[in-house]
Amino acid sequence: MKSRNGVIAVIASLALSVGVRAEVPSLVGPVLKWERPVLGAQRLPDARLDESRVPGQVRIFTREEIEASGVRTIQELLRNEAGVNVFDTIGNSFQQTVDVRGFNATPVPLTQVIVDGVRVNENSFGQVNFHLIPLEDIEQLEVHYGPNTKFGRGALAGVIHVTTRRGTAERVSADAGLSYGSYNRKKGDIAVRGVLSGFDYSIIGVKELDDGYRDNARVQVSNLKAKLGYKAGESQDAWLSYQRTDDRIQQPGSITEAEFNGDPQQFVSNVNNISHMDFVGVGHRIALPYDLSASWNGFMRERKEVTPLNRGRTSVSQSQAEMKSRGLVGQVTHDALWGARRVVTSVGVETRFDESDAAAKGAFGASPFHNSNVSRDRSFALYGETVFDLLPEKLVLTTGLRYDEARIDYEESSNSNWAFGTKNASGEQAFHRTNPRVGLNFTPSDRFRSWISYGEAFRIPTFSEITGLGPVAQNPLLPVRSKSVEIGAKANLTDAISIGAAGFRTEVRDEIYFDPTQGAFGENRNIDRTRRIGVDWTLEAKKGRWEGRFNHAWTQATFESAFSLSRSGGGNQSVQDGDRMPMVPEHKAVLGAVYKPGKGLRLSADEVCVGDQFSVGDEANVDTPQRAYCETNLGVRYAKGSWSAFANGFNVLDHRHGVRSIYSTVGGARTRFLTPASGANVQVGVSYRFTSGPEAVARKLSSIVEVARAALR
């Protein structure tokens, strides 16, 4: 019965669109008061809200900023931001993990990633495959820090909200780019966009090849994306998109500290992955009478993954998995003035179904094994939010509430002649949670804004955490819950200098952690209490042809409950209240500068420094931490007319360091494993952009495609 609500919202929206008239209120909102619009301020972008009406820290990247940055991936774009941690457990440059405000200690990422209204975290373990989001297709990317109630489960650390590009020009426009870099890194991209008879279209193709800094770290990714939209004046907007991605990825993993000191490019373990993804999205917004509007979007996403080789130090296996997701969100918004006060109220319903079917076989030493599992995750949510001007455009109150329920059922079978024996398990677990949100914005002038907010969020255990290891299912797990308070301000001190800061405190209950001391083989358990507190701040300045930016994050992630864990190599470690959680740097600082000596020329430099971190497996903080490190990056970009060229250097001082460390056992001895950072590398490239009639575009594209094919062979 509940799943019908989303269908009703869609049918109602489509029915209302049939009779829409030109005099129906416009979807275009009031003129913005403070800086840029925040497209992720609502679950579905509808009423236009700017930063002065968002009670929290938000970092916005526009298309122009992304192009000027010279970055190759989303992870590189985010690594320079205060409070954002980028790390690598895989060993290649495409599959780095991103988390926010000290949540990167947990195995399941707690930052939710939204693309055009769709959560793209994988249903198996919450991870995000950022290489499935072409950088060239992003119109705007936003980082929303802290628990984000309206986006539902999994958004404890924050939300990364991505809006993809659409055609905007009345004539045909096209972009093409080609680049080459160290370790045989090649990239070619081509896109055509435009508007024809009210329909806008965007077609983009991207192919990337990279042999990788590490041995056995080769990556091949091909993305094809088509998006078609229709706008009926200012009263109606609809779009339909399809994306196909094929990739072949090698993962060299981590190596011991001794191996790292000898040759950080080597590998011992390795994984070869092949996957294919099909992703269909559709959305519709319509303005209605009485200051109302309705919006909805739906999606179908299927990803098939085959691992023909997964070789560890003592094991070898192969596996395959098929992951399917379907979802629908419907939302109604009322945006009106009560006197001089603006009031925006949104209510919505969200439903989603995720299914995973996986199987693996292999051997640990001389002991063969095989297992298979099927999991189904059904979720449903209701949400509402009101943004109300207590004082017109100066004092804004935000209140919100979201109810989520989820049901996971699973079937797992395994068989081996080694210690884990035979396991046949099936079951079902249900979860539900209501999370509130409240915030207050004070914007007395165009030069100053401030906010204070309180929010709650949660995540449910994944299938892998529920079933655990060993021949029997483990004890039931509770969902992870968080409560967070944030206070912040941003000031434009002059036309050339601005400063912003935000402080936060997040209390987490029942965080899920793997405990080797529990049961015969270890199991996941709930840790009663953990905490994250910190301050992020940024200073920006401009003078003449110079621009500078400095940001710093102080983050303290601690266990707040005492418990015992085993130590690799034998014995136990006693974790006490106040011990730092592993792999969370207490300090991170970034200094960047841009110099524009002449028209079209841009020189840039930045220094990224990350403080020391305790390794996973040293929760009691008794071993030497992974040492702090800095990376220096340089860039030059020149644009003239339709042409632009760039050259970027990464880690140009070739600083050798690990970006992730964990303790394990090798030959009965406690050993630290490191994932090495990439050494010094460069990337050079050229791009061409033009706007013309269809025939001229077709001729130019044909010649560009031939050049790109030859370069990527």
What pLDDT score was predicted for residue 711? Answer: 60
Q: Which of 12-16, 256-260, 452-456 has the lowest mean pLDDT?
A: 12-16
Strands (E) in 366-422, as ranges, are: 367-391, 395-416
What pLDDT score was predicted for residue 474? Answer: 60
What pLDDT score was predicted for residue 695? Answer: 56
What pLDDT score was predicted for residue 430? Answer: 92
Measured CA to CA, the distance from residue 453 to residue 437 in angstroms comes to 8
Which range among 514-518, 648-652, 666-670 has the greatest average pLDDT? 648-652
What pLDDT score was predicted for residue 573? Answer: 87
What pLDDT score was predicted for residue 10? Answer: 34
Please count the structural domains in the chain.
1
What pLDDT score was predicted for residue 9? Answer: 37
Residue 5's SS3 state is helix
User: How does residue 186 score in pLDDT terms, banded at 50, 70 and 90?
Assistant: very high
User: How does residue 14 score in pLDDT terms, banded at 50, 70 and 90?
Assistant: very low
Question: Where on the phi/psi map is residue 544: left (φ > 0), alpha (ψ -120 to 50), or beta?
Answer: left
pTM of the model: 0.90
Using the predicted structure, report yes or no on whether residue 458 has a pLDDT greater than 80. yes
| CB neighbours of residue 482 within 10 Å | 26
- CA-nearest of 383, 418, 389 to 403 is 383
- CA-nearest of 368, 457, 430 to 111 is 457
Q: Which of 103-117, 212-226, 461-475 has the lowest mean pLDDT?
A: 461-475
Burial, 139: exposed, middle or buried (Cβ in 10 Å; 0-12, 13-18, 19+)? middle
Take residue 641 and report the two structure tokens written for it.
Answer: 């007319």
| Backbone phi and psi for residue 165, each to the nearest 5 degrees, phi listed first | -85, 155
What pLDDT score was predicted for residue 25? Answer: 47
User: How does residue 465 score in pLDDT terms, banded at 50, 70 and 90?
Assistant: confident
Take residue 43 and report the two structure tokens written for it.
Answer: 């679950």
- CA-nearest of 140, 142, 158 to 150 is 158
Strands 158-164, 172-181: parallel, antiparallel or unpaired by DSSP?
unpaired
- CA-nearest of 42, 82, 490, 48 to 287 is 48
Strands 270-288, 255-256: parallel, antiparallel or unpaired by DSSP?
unpaired
Using the predicted structure, report yes or no on whether residue 138 has a pLDDT greater than 60. yes
- Tell me the percentage of the chain whose pLDDT exceeds 90: 65
User: How does residue 33 score in pLDDT terms, banded at 50, 70 and 90?
Assistant: very low
| Backbone phi and psi for residue 709, each to the nearest 5 degrees, phi listed first | -60, -45
What pLDDT score was predicted for residue 516? Answer: 65
Q: In angstroms, what is the C-alpha Rg of the chain? A: 25
Using the predicted structure, report yes or no on whether residue 22 has a pLDDT greater than 60. no
Contact between 244 and 275 under an 8 Å Cβ cutoff? The reply is no
What pLDDT score was predicted for residue 189? Answer: 94
Domain that holds residue 499: 4-712
Using the predicted structure, report yes or no on whether residue 592 has a pLDDT greater than 80. yes
What pLDDT score was predicted for residue 693? Answer: 58
| DSSP code at position 418 | S
What pLDDT score was predicted for residue 179? Answer: 95
Q: For residues 626-650, give the mean pLDDT.
A: 94
Using the predicted structure, report yes or no on whether residue 654 has a pLDDT greater than 80. yes
Q: For residues 525-534, give the mean pLDDT.
A: 94
CATH assignment of the domain containing 484: 2.40.170.20
- CA-nearest of 348, 329, 385 to 149 is 385
CA–centroid distance for 398 within its chain: 25
| CB neighbours of residue 481 within 10 Å | 18
Q: For residues 587-596, give the mean pLDDT.
A: 96
The mean of the pLDDT values for the chain is 87
Measured CA to CA, the distance from residue 213 to residue 659 in angstroms comes to 14
| Backbone phi and psi for residue 617, each to the nearest 5 degrees, phi listed first | 100, -5
Question: Where on the phi/psi map is residue 600: left (φ > 0), alpha (ψ -120 to 50), or beta?
Answer: left
244-294 residue pLDDT tens: 999 999 999 999 999 999 999 999 988 999 999 999 999 999 999 999 999
Using the predicted structure, report yes or no on whether residue 20 has a pLDDT greater than 80. no
- CA-nearest of 150, 618, 146 to 399 is 150
User: How does residue 208 score in pLDDT terms, banded at 50, 70 and 90?
Assistant: very high
* Strands of 111-115's sheet in order across: 58-62, 138-145, 158-164, 111-115, 118-119
What pLDDT score was predicted for residue 265? Answer: 94
- Tell me the percentage of the chain whose pLDDT exceeds 70: 88
Q: For residues 533-545, give the mean pLDDT.
A: 95
User: How does residue 235 score in pLDDT terms, banded at 50, 70 and 90?
Assistant: confident
What pLDDT score was predicted for residue 519? Answer: 56
384-437 residue pLDDT tens: 999 999 999 899 999 999 999 999 998 888 776 545 556 667 888 899 999 999
User: How does residue 440 score in pLDDT terms, banded at 50, 70 and 90?
Assistant: very high
Using the predicted structure, report yes or no on whether residue 644 has a pLDDT greater than 90. yes
Within 8 A by CB and 6+ apart from 405, the residues are 379, 380, 381, 430, 431, 432, 433
Give buried/exposed letters for 545-575 (b at 16+ CB in 10 A, else e): eebebbbbbbbbbbbbeebebebbeeeebeb
* Strands of 669-676's sheet in order across: 255-256, 669-676, 658-666
Take residue 690 and report the two structure tokens written for it.
Answer: 């033009």
Residue 684's SS3 state is strand
Distances (CA, A) of 625 to 98, 532, 581, 611: 21, 19, 11, 10
